[in-house]
Amino acid sequence: MIYLDNAGTTKMFEECVEVHKIFSCEQFFNPSALSSESMAVEKLIRDTEQYFLNRLGAREGNILFTGCATESNNLAIKGSLRSGDWEYVFSAGEHPSVFNVAKKLELDGYKVHFVSLNKQGQVDLAELEKVLNKKTRLISIMHVSNETGAINDLEEISKLKDRLCPRSVFHVDGVQGFMKIPFSIRKTSVDLYSFSAHKLHGPKGVAGLYVRNKNNLKELFQGGGQQFGLRSGTENVSGIMQFKKALELIDEVSNFDKVKLLKHKFIETISRESGIVSMDFGGSPYIENLVFLGVKGETMLHALDEKGVIVGLGSACSAKKAGNRVLEVLGVPKDKIISSARISFNAFQTVEEVEKAAEIIVDVYRNIKERVS
């Protein structure tokens, strides 16, 4: 099996399994309790928090550990809401865990702006500049598009924020960017940054939210006051420590260069078939969109599955819904959207593996085209 849906989830490092055993069966203590064993576990969590801050390149702030990126995004957005005549700004290309929250805010009477995307799939900076003002409370714009791989320029957005609405809160859904795109948060004015373990060869069920200033955020539910009173509930110690182990095995700079090579070799092989078109948005090398002219993407997905190649149709959170909202926003014709599929790599695959997958994709496409012609 060749797995090319890594933007949906990734295979967990085997090293994480041993970490799970240690913190589930040996150091299983509740970090909120007062025993020396519990306090030792609590210190491990605080040390891990600092490790994550260092990997983000943050000079200050805290890390809240959550159950998933959807929770992190909801906590960031809903925790930033304030009463009064405030405005909330989102890009039109956000993941459902941000976009659907924004639509709900709009229905609830909040003043919400959706900023369009340019042809490269990035947020339109000129339009964003027109929208931002002193009433802006929250800006929420993703780092890397889960659909197209387009990379938003967080430094340029930060400059707009600092000039036009310095008191606003800048949230970034960093799920497809963290530890994939070389990045230092200290070069930006990002206040909140979401990320997830299972996109980085860690376990499902644990994610994080970087918080520059705790005073900008309010808790969503009340409880025992864990994690600075912002995310009550007993911490998932095993998940947190597995997440750290996964990061220890990742070098985002060398991985970035390796995946660029993988994508190049993949496209080089795919290009032998003129009926398969790359919608290259010039962004993250981890994500590639293909259009199979005359064949539905879903048909290709199932046919490839039978041949042992797994691809995706976009966000796994909305894969069972028709269409693709982000591609529609970009003006991609409906027939191309129906015929598209998302390919996403990981840095631990080989050139031989992705070239073989590309050859299988070409063969499957040609066989289907012959049958339908």
The residues that are catalytic are: 317
Residue 360 · residue 307 · CB < 8 Å = yes
* Coil/strand/helix, residue 283: coil
Q: Using CA atoms in the order 94, 99, 105, 109, what is the torsion angle rounded to 10 degrees?
A: 80
Bridge-based pairing of strands 136-140 and 87-91 is parallel
As given in the structure block, the two tokens for residue 179 are 């530890």
Do β-strands 340-344 and 287-292 pair in parallel, antiparallel, or remain unpaired? antiparallel
- Listed in sequence order, the DSSP H helices in the chain are 15-21, 36-56, 69-78, 96-107, 125-131, 154-164, 237-248, 252-270, 297-306, 325-329, 334-338, 351-372
End-to-end C-alpha distance for the chain, whole angstroms: 29
SS (H, E, C) 92-122: CCCCHHHHHHHHHHHHCCCEEEEECECCCCC
Q: Token match 């409370």: residue?
A: 137
Q: Which two tokens stand for residue 1?
A: 């099996």
Handedness of CA 31, 36, 37, 42 (dihedral sign): positive
Helix axes 351-372, 297-306, angle to 10 degrees: 120
What is the enclosing helix (H) or strand (E) of 62?
A: strand 62-66
d(CA 251, CA 61): 23
Q: Are 241 and 48 in contact (CB under 8 A)?
A: yes
Are 219 and 29 in contact, with CB atoms under 8 Å apart? no
All residues at 6 or more sequence positions from 47 whose CB lies less than 8 Å from its CB, including other chains? none
